[in-house]
Structure 1
């Protein structure tokens, strides 16, 4: 049975906001064959109008890794095939994936200001996620037990995420990452999923929702795209984890029509269609945060894809063009740049970037294989710059492989073992 949708065109070949309808229908067909969702998709093309995107029945597992991706990794690693095996070897070599990992849960997590302790949280989340991947791919009970031990410890303890404005980053980044680890362990013996859902709904979602609603009392354009995106990711992931259609719709609608910088037209403000490129909102800031944006929006699109929604191709592949732009520049090549002006603070005082920033140019982040394997392999599109970046980073590692500070844990990683096709 299909979910009732709005009167907008659904997967219309004339709708400029949906690309590749035949491929999307094929994806949905695969999900139906696997017992997944059968809902129709609707597109919100105009601001202020909600598009019902959530499936009538959510697919599980259905976030960064659906059953097809998990099974492919399992089969290919067992066969010793590359690049899956190389990606698997990076996973098993990471200390966070050890089944002996012991969690250190805290009642209060602080990011920003006095008493910061959020490193405890992101290290444990990545340990839970990596142990969950090892359980799913190799079936090792010790890793499954470790993942559950970490998840249960935190859901029994954590009550508050606080700090200065950075608390919203913590709620967003660690919210969606935590939910992804939990989704992989759904149904595992001894995992208290109900208590974990309660933690996500009571600790993380209120901050996610508050940020997207009032942006910490600041001008709507004050915060960079990543601030919106991580909170959008958390709401989307919580919606899937909790089978909550309203939260799923909230996140997807914001991606399409939101007023902040995480929505697609604000995150990608300028198009250079003749070159197949598009400028990213943080490009004038620095390249480290710009590449973080590739990981954040890539994660959002992949989670929606697992539920049958094609946001990768939304608005004539707008995100793909931005990823090509970011990849090309970070490969050492020139790209066009349009002056970007935005309002800051509470008064919306104007600031501008007049040139692309070379700061952190060429930084290595494990955000490219998820994009390459979607656009080049699932969709059969030519993405030479994304491909070259992916090849330069492969095999991708994860948290703990890219330094000990928070930037090395902004993305869950391991795209090579999980997405290679």
Structure 2
């Protein structure tokens, strides 16, 4: 079935919020049915697979083969990565003991430097794997070692989000280097201590801010847990992720109003509507931040896809749960309007702020290519945007690693 909601295909206007009694019943159901409580599709494996954060050994091997054979879109995606500033061998890390990030990174004391050095470490790790040129592995290690030798804390209002963003890229780089590089990474233990002592405590307990915060934080927590072989933290992050994902993407089966995170005390319809950016009409695929803007929505969708992919690599299928359905519908809904479909009056007052970003490849590859689900609009947007680059925060080179990758 195409990833276009039924009301868009038929032209019908979706139903608005119903009676107060029905809404109250839905609220109660939303509080009580916490995802993950009835099964363990999100549990840590008996032994973690490595490399196993977002990209697997098989996916890396497929990517390397396609790039070295000069096949598209992978060769073009590789060339894009290698011409970026993140692959510059003259790059010098800019670590700080204290990274201070206020709202919208104002003040910005090390925020951009940290995020971009982490992306550069991942970029060089990918370059190492594809080329087997040691200079790239050594550059990745140099960047990781520079930060692990210095950083002590994140401060100010954006500290949890900043930690989540940078903490999403570091373990992706570290997994590739630690488990595929044949040379020596002498300070790998110190790097692990940095993730365990500086990053994980800042993110593992989650956030009651907009949903993209907690989803990004849980992406980092899951990735760090894999690198550290920390089953307890993995399980805790996954449980938080399941609850937040159900509260971030609406499905009609949720009831009259979206599910909520209990700690946020969104116990009335009015509170929920306010939290959903004033949107009072709830349709399948809508997210908590759709009416804010698609850029922040893209952050949340990307984190959902990354965590689901890491879980799949670790031997558990979240794509076959409500997580996969929410991801499919969120991608399809946002892609529809990102592609220029007229926005109906009932949606965000008739206007949306597009700019979804390079966030569709991982979910599209898993749901469409791997599982065979039709995703018409997501496919069109994904192929239109290839090769997808980096959002300069925590997403990078996903046409290269996941574009039509069957592994």
TM-score of the pair, normalised by structure 2: 0.77
> How far does residue 101 in structure 1 lie from its aligned partner after superposition?
1.9
Please identify, of 184-193 and 103-112, the stretch whose mean Cα deviation from structure 2 is larger: 184-193
Describe the shift of the 1:336–1:205 C-alpha distance in structure 2 as closer, same or farther (beyond 3 A): farther
Structure 2 CA distance for aligned equivalents of residues 180 and 266 of structure 1: 27
Name 1:125's counterpart in structure 2: 118
> How far does residue 48 in structure 1 lie from its aligned partner after superposition?
8.3
> How far does residue 190 in structure 1 lie from its aligned partner after superposition?
3.1
**Residue-pair matches, total:** 336
- Return the match for 2:378 from 373, 386, 390: 386
Describe the shift of the 1:48–1:79 C-alpha distance in structure 2 as closer, same or farther (beyond 3 A): closer
Structure 1 CA distance for aligned equivalents of residues 343 and 374 of structure 2: 18
Name 1:205's counterpart in structure 2: 200
> How far does residue 411 in structure 1 lie from its aligned partner after superposition?
3.0
Describe the shift of the 1:106–1:377 C-alpha distance in structure 2 as closer, same or farther (beyond 3 A): same
**Structure with more contact order per residue of length (Cα contacts < 8 Å, sep ≥ 6):** 2
Name 2:338's counterpart in structure 1: 330
Describe the shift of the 1:412–1:237 C-alpha distance in structure 2 as closer, same or farther (beyond 3 A): same
- Return the match for 2:77 from 78, 82, 87: 87
Structure 1 CA distance for aligned equivalents of residues 101 and 370 of structure 2: 38
Name 1:190's counterpart in structure 2: 184
Structure 2 CA distance for aligned equivalents of residues 82 and 142 of structure 1: 25
Name 2:57's counterpart in structure 1: 67
Contact 1:285 1:356 in 2 (8 A): no
Contact 1:148 1:190 in 2 (8 A): no
Name 1:358's counterpart in structure 2: 352
Structure number having the greater helix percentage: 2
1:239 aligns with 2:222: no
> How far does residue 355 in structure 1 lie from its aligned partner after superposition?
3.8
Structure 2 CA distance for aligned equivalents of residues 230 and 336 of structure 1: 30
- Return the match for 2:310 from 300, 303, 307: 303
Name 1:107's counterpart in structure 2: 97
Name 2:245's counterpart in structure 1: 264
Please identify, of 189-198 and 140-149, the stretch whose mean Cα deviation from structure 2 is larger: 189-198
Map 1:128-139 → 2, pairs under 5 A: 128-139=121-132
> How far does residue 336 in structure 1 lie from its aligned partner after superposition?
7.1
> How far does residue 272 in structure 1 lie from its aligned partner after superposition?
8.3
Contact 1:313 1:319 in 2 (8 A): no
Describe the shift of the 1:358–1:335 C-alpha distance in structure 2 as closer, same or farther (beyond 3 A): closer
Describe the shift of the 1:121–1:413 C-alpha distance in structure 2 as closer, same or farther (beyond 3 A): same
Name 1:404's counterpart in structure 2: none
Structure 2 CA distance for aligned equivalents of residues 246 and 272 of structure 1: 31
Describe the shift of the 1:48–1:87 C-alpha distance in structure 2 as closer, same or farther (beyond 3 A): closer
Please identify, of 235-244 and 368-377, the stretch whose mean Cα deviation from structure 2 is larger: 368-377
TM-score of the pair, normalised by structure 1: 0.75
> How far does residue 357 in structure 1 lie from its aligned partner after superposition?
4.8
Per-residue CA deviation, residues 94-114 of structure 1 (Å, 9 max, x unaligned), is 121122322122111111155
Name 2:396's counterpart in structure 1: 413
Structure 2 CA distance for aligned equivalents of residues 356 and 250 of structure 1: 39
- Return the match for 1:289 from 296, 313, 316: 296
Describe the shift of the 1:337–1:190 C-alpha distance in structure 2 as closer, same or farther (beyond 3 A): farther
> How far does residue 356 in structure 1 lie from its aligned partner after superposition?
6.4
Structure 2 CA distance for aligned equivalents of residues 145 and 207 of structure 1: 29
Per-residue CA deviation, residues 237-280 of structure 1 (Å, 9 max, x unaligned), is 11100001111111211222x3xxxx22101124389xx94211
> How far does residue 56 in structure 1 lie from its aligned partner after superposition?
0.3
> How far does residue 46 in structure 1 lie from its aligned partner after superposition?
4.3
Structure 2 CA distance for aligned equivalents of residues 305 and 48 of structure 1: 16
Contact 1:176 1:230 in 2 (8 A): yes
Structure 2 CA distance for aligned equivalents of residues 358 and 281 of structure 1: 13
Partner SS for 1:185: helix
| CA-based RMSD | 2.4
Partner SS for 1:69: helix
Per-residue CA deviation, residues 349-398 of structure 1 (Å, 9 max, x unaligned), is xxxxx646512x1x262111212211211111100111011012101112
Describe the shift of the 1:245–1:396 C-alpha distance in structure 2 as closer, same or farther (beyond 3 A): same
Partner SS for 1:109: strand
Per-residue CA deviation, residues 63-98 of structure 1 (Å, 9 max, x unaligned), is 111001000011111111111111111111112112
Map 1:212-223 → 2, pairs under 5 A: 212=206, 215=207, 220=208, 223=209
